[in-house]
Chain A
Amino acid sequence: MNSDGLFLSNDILMSIEKPERYIGHEVNSCIKDPEDIRVRFVMCFPDVYEIGMSHLGIQILYDMFNSFPDVWCERVYSPWVDLDKVMREQHIPLFTLESQRPVREADFLGITIQYEMCYTNILQILDLSGIPLSSSDRTWDDPIVIGGGPCTYNPEPIAEFFDIFYIGEGETRYRELLDLYEKCKDEGTSREEFLFRASQIPGLYVPSLYEVKYNEDGTIADFYPIREGVPSKVKKEVVKDLDDTYYPQKPVVPYIRCVQDRVVLEIMRGCIRGCRFCQAGELYRPVRERSVDKLLETVYRMLDSTGYEEISLSSLSSSDYTHLPELLDKLIIECEKRKVNITLPSLRIDAFSLDVMNKVEDIKKTSVTFAPEAGSQRLRDVINKGLTEEDILSGSAQAIKGGWTKFKFYFMLGHPFETDEDILGIGDLANKVAAEFFELVPREERKNGPISITVSTSFFVPKPFTAFQWAPQCTQDEFIRKAYVCRSGIASQLNQKRIHYNWHDADTSVIEALLARGDRKVGEVIRKVYEKGGIYDAWSDYYSHKRWLDALDECGLSLDFYAYRERSAEEIFPWDFIDIGVSKRFLRNEYEKAREGKITENCRAKCNGCGAATFGAGICPGAYKK
């Protein structure tokens, strides 16, 4: 430790990019006296500081843990590639930001896993910390490594690297786990005994206590607990009442500009829509809203404690928040007084949202965003995207009349049951919007310039716990062909000069599919990629497709099996032991309806009996109401 209480020497800090990533000392970061606490919990987001610091989930849990007098929660993020190299060369262990002490000294290392492409960074964190990569090699000298976040709904590819997974929302069960930990330490039990007892806590999955048997074709024959008393199913944890739980009072304020350089206000959890490709839409059911009063109280407190100059609303579909007009009315008045900007999440474009955008943003600088996800009405019905061409065209017409000239459209290519005709619909739709502009705005009134439309496509990745979890993913070549069809479709339009087309690359999409629906065998692939030097796979500059293909080959595994294969209705999935409330039967029925192009109504219009009502919360019939 150097004279300023920093873990890294002045020499190192002066030789790396953005030393601010590693020095802690931020406003509102929590310092406790190690003498006063019993448990040190290190919270990790396995990506670079600016990304990790922008994550609301960690902020919530950081505040929650530090509200416990016996616990000190600290943070750690992935060292950037420059420091990573220095740490390996000089054998410097990974350290936390608050105490500037080695991670390995902590009691818990909690890793939030938000996207599949960060898996190699998890190994980087463990390795640099000096913690054995495999759970089975760890002792009481190592922290308990616990994973949480959306990717843990199929934890199997990374199962061997974790001692525990927390399935569901973190607010509910951590106190129980910490109490158990303190008790086991007092009793002097073994680490194995602690993990066994932890497996009895609802929502906690201890992978070492389960075994998998495979069929000859590689699919799963059986998955079962190996010890009496270990539950065979793990049900996700849900916060029933979002008004009566933790929310950050004093979020840590970074010095460097982060992705989210503002107060983030989560207005609700879950989504009523049920798009068939969307994993979050199923995982976070049931839809639960926060009350306007509580939100306003929270946001003003956070503005006072941070000094942020901007707030942003967060949810999966803010337009579906019941009290949005009331909330925005009050926020706009107060924020104008405080000189605070409001950035709007992607709202459904209609008269209301355009009016709000007009109030809080500069029309010349902002764009209007649509996410139809599919180019034709037929395919939008297949994916159950409840957005019609009429909705889009009337929204864009209103925006054009309101003076907007920049439009963004997001689509996905490679949906199940997609035809080339559906893809050509993308160009048609963009062209119709451009045509509206030339029709509605006479030449002399085009003071903001002509319309500019950006069309972006990404490639569809089938995810667990969606209606499309059975679906085959397109091969890379097929993806490229589809992007070409889309581009030709756009190029053939009358107004093609006003339309710009970008597409996401196909390499990472197929690896994402491998990791999303992989089983325990895939763990070895991840380990091999890491051993070959793979970190920061979510960053295109550092991603190497060859590394992944080589590792797959060496393990005797294939993308044909994990990505491109359609699963049978009977197949046992690696994630079947997790109960998210939404039943497999409901999802299968949704898949069949997709095949027939039939839509399912949203949760507010009608309950479709998905199974999430078992939590007795939020929008579900029979749910607890205050």
Chain B
Amino acid sequence: MTKIRVRFTKHGAIRYIGHLDVMRYFQKTIRRAGINVSYSGGYSPHQIMTFAAPLGVGLESDGEYMDLGIEDEHPDTEMIMNALNEASVPEIRILSVKILPEDAGNAMASVFASSYEITFYDDKKDLCPDAEKIKELIDRIHSMDSMIYHKETKKTSRDIDLKSFIYNLYLKDDISYKPVICMTINSSSSDSIKPGFVIEFMCGLEDIQLPPNSLQITRLDMFTRGENGEMISLGDIGVSK
């Protein structure tokens, strides 16, 4: 079995499809594409397939990853990419396919951080802070020692310090008609935070109440940590052939 890593996008209407359904979607797409995928044993064999950190419903992405086991010893990655693209809906595009080294950690276990681009939906942007205000708020955050955020999930609620989960945070330079916030934050399976937490905290500094569903979020990429702690894109691991 050879392990390959597939990088794909998720845009447009398809962003309302949940993570489990994206997995189911790929199981079928792989079959339609005729990829020689590896299967587990047993009465109902399933494809050897792992996804990196799940993407929330409503979010778009340019950097999703799926690792696959395939039967070919020397797979033609370009052929696989083309076949997958042909079998896929236009909203999901395969950007790269790489053969992973044998010792590479799987996509789910090795993901450490995600980078995002966040802006406001057009119909809400007038009710949201402008670029100048965002710049000011980001500067304030940079000067803070801690960012205590009250995180509530269905089961638990606790205070966490967002500061230790944020690796960068800035306002995109080429300011168009609305602000675009960039951030790289922890999204490992043990310690992740959501980009919305940071925006919420930021606006909370000046009691700014964002209208519901105003954030348009795109994940740009996912990273693992190198030997020296540096961030390496999951897509930079392995080779194309």
Min C-beta distance of A252 to chain B, whole Å = 12
Listed by A's residue number, 29 A-B pairs whose Cβ atoms lie within 8 Å are A4-B15, A5-B13, A6-B13, A10-B58, A10-B121, A13-B58, A14-B57, A14-B58, A14-B212, A20-B16, A20-B21, A23-B13, A23-B16, A24-B13, A25-B13, A25-B14, A25-B91, A27-B25, A27-B29, A255-B24, A257-B21, A257-B24, A307-B27, A307-B28, A307-B29, A307-B30, A307-B32, A307-B87, A362-B44
Contact residues of B with A, CB < 8 Å?
12-18, 21, 24-25, 27-32, 39, 43-45, 57-58, 87, 89, 91, 121-123, 212-213
Instruction: Give the chain B neighbours of A305 by CB distance below 8 A.
Output: 32
Enumerate A1-55 residues with CB–CB distance to B below 8 Å: 3-6, 9-11, 13-15, 19-20, 23-27
Instruction: Give the chain A neighbours of B18 by CB distance below 8 A.
Output: 20
Instruction: Give the chain B neighbours of A594 by CB distance below 8 A.
Output: none
Min C-beta distance of A336 to chain B, whole Å = 10
Q: Quick check: is A309 within 8 A (CB to CB) of the other chain?
A: yes
**Do the beta carbons of A27 and B57 come within 8 Å of each other?**
no
Q: Quick check: is A339 within 8 A (CB to CB) of the other chain?
A: yes
Docked CA distance A261–B30 (Å): 16
Q: Quick check: is A602 within 8 A (CB to CB) of the other chain?
A: no
**Do the beta carbons of A362 and B43 come within 8 Å of each other?**
yes
Docked CA distance A15–B58 (Å): 11
Min C-beta distance of A361 to chain B, whole Å = 7
Closest to B122 in A: A3
Q: Quick check: is A440 within 8 A (CB to CB) of the other chain?
A: no
Q: Quick check: is A398 within 8 A (CB to CB) of the other chain?
A: no
A6, A9, A253, A306 pick with most chain B CB within 10 angstroms: A253
**Do the beta carbons of A5 and B43 come within 8 Å of each other?**
no
Min C-beta distance of B68 to chain A, whole Å = 14
Among candidates B14, B25, B32, B213, residue contacting A10 with C-beta atoms closer than 8 Å:
B213
Min C-beta distance of A365 to chain B, whole Å = 8
Number of A positions contacting B (CB below 8 A): 33
Instruction: Give the chain B neighbours of A5 by CB distance below 8 A.
Output: 12-13
Closest to A360 in B: B43
Docked CA distance A255–B14 (Å): 9
Given A10-B121, A20-B17, A20-B21, do A27 and B28 touch, yes or no (CB 8 Å)? yes
Instruction: Give the chain B neighbours of A339 by CB distance below 8 A.
Output: 39, 45
Min C-beta distance of B28 to chain A, whole Å = 3
Instruction: Give the chain A neighbours of B32 by CB distance below 8 A.
Output: 27, 304-307
A-B CB proximity, top 7 nearest: A307-B28, A307-B31, A307-B32, A19-B16, A362-B43, A4-B12, A255-B21
Instruction: Give the chain B neighbours of A572 by CB distance below 8 A.
Output: none
Instruction: Give the chain B neighbours of A544 by CB distance below 8 A.
Output: none
Total contacts A to B, CB within 8 angstroms? 74
Closest to B44 in A: A341
Closest to A22 in B: B16
Closest to A254 in B: B21
Min C-beta distance of A18 to chain B, whole Å = 8
Given A6-B13, A11-B213, A307-B87, do A19 and B57 touch, yes or no (CB 8 Å)? yes
Instruction: Give the chain B neighbours of A24 by CB distance below 8 A.
Output: 13
Min C-beta distance of A246 to chain B, whole Å = 22
Q: Quick check: is A81 within 8 A (CB to CB) of the other chain?
A: no
Docked CA distance A176–B87 (Å): 35
B18, B28, B122 pick with most chain A CB within 10 angstroms: B28
**Do the beta carbons of A255 and B213 come within 8 Å of each other?**
no
Q: Quick check: is A256 within 8 A (CB to CB) of the other chain?
A: yes
Docked CA distance A6–B12 (Å): 9
Docked CA distance A361–B121 (Å): 50
Instruction: Give the chain B neighbours of A438 by CB distance below 8 A.
Output: none
**Do the beta carbons of A25 and B89 come within 8 Å of each other?**
yes
Q: Quick check: is A308 within 8 A (CB to CB) of the other chain?
A: yes
Min C-beta distance of A154 to chain B, whole Å = 39
Closest to A8 in B: B16
Docked CA distance A27–B15 (Å): 15
Enumerate A222-257 residues with CB–CB distance to B below 8 Å: 253, 255-257
Instruction: Give the chain A neighbours of B43 by CB distance below 8 A.
Output: 361-362, 365
Closest to A26 in B: B89
Instruction: Give the chain B neighbours of A257 by CB distance below 8 A.
Output: 21, 24
Instruction: Give the chain B neighbours of A255 by CB distance below 8 A.
Output: 17, 21, 24-25
Docked CA distance A245–B21 (Å): 33
Instruction: Give the chain A neighbours of B17 by CB distance below 8 A.
Output: 20, 255
**Do the beta carbons of B27 and A4 come within 8 Å of each other?**
no
Instruction: Give the chain B neighbours of A10 by CB distance below 8 A.
Output: 58, 121, 213
Docked CA distance A304–B16 (Å): 26
Instruction: Give the chain B neighbours of A19 by CB distance below 8 A.
Output: 16, 57
B13, B29, B87 pick with most chain A CB within 10 angstroms: B13
Closest to A253 in B: B28
Instruction: Give the chain B neighbours of A20 by CB distance below 8 A.
Output: 16-18, 21
Docked CA distance A361–B44 (Å): 9
Min C-beta distance of B132 to chain A, whole Å = 25
Docked CA distance A256–B13 (Å): 14
Given A5-B13, A339-B45, do A11 and B212 touch, yes or no (CB 8 Å)? yes
Instruction: Give the chain A neighbours of B13 by CB distance below 8 A.
Output: 4-6, 23-25
Instruction: Give the chain A neighbours of B44 by CB distance below 8 A.
Output: 341, 362
Instruction: Give the chain B neighbours of A23 by CB distance below 8 A.
Output: 13-14, 16
Closest to A361 in B: B43
Instruction: Give the chain B neighbours of A309 by CB distance below 8 A.
Output: 27-28, 31
Enumerate A402-447 residues with CB–CB distance to B below 8 Å: none
Docked CA distance A10–B124 (Å): 11
**Do the beta carbons of A306 and B28 come within 8 Å of each other?**
yes
Sample of 9 more A-B contacts, CB < 8 Å, known A11-B212, A27-B29, A362-B43: A4-B12, A14-B213, A15-B213, A19-B57, A256-B21, A257-B24, A304-B32, A308-B31, A341-B44
Min C-beta distance of B180 to chain A, whole Å = 16
Closest to B60 in A: A4
**Do the beta carbons of A13 and B16 come within 8 Å of each other?**
yes
Docked CA distance A6–B15 (Å): 12
Min C-beta distance of A260 to chain B, whole Å = 14
Instruction: Give the chain B neighbours of A3 by CB distance below 8 A.
Output: 122
Instruction: Give the chain A neighbours of B28 by CB distance below 8 A.
Output: 27, 253, 306-309
Min C-beta distance of B203 to chain A, whole Å = 18
Instruction: Give the chain A neighbours of B15 by CB distance below 8 A.
Output: 4
Instruction: Give the chain A neighbours of B213 by CB distance below 8 A.
Output: 10-11, 14-15
Docked CA distance A3–B87 (Å): 25
Enumerate A156-179 residues with CB–CB distance to B below 8 Å: none
Docked CA distance A147–B123 (Å): 40
Closest to B17 in A: A255
Min C-beta distance of A583 to chain B, whole Å = 47
Docked CA distance A308–B25 (Å): 10
Enumerate A272-323 residues with CB–CB distance to B below 8 Å: 303-309
B17, B27, B39 pick with most chain A CB within 10 angstroms: B17
Docked CA distance A307–B31 (Å): 5
Closest to A362 in B: B43
B25, B32, B39 pick with most chain A CB within 10 angstroms: B32
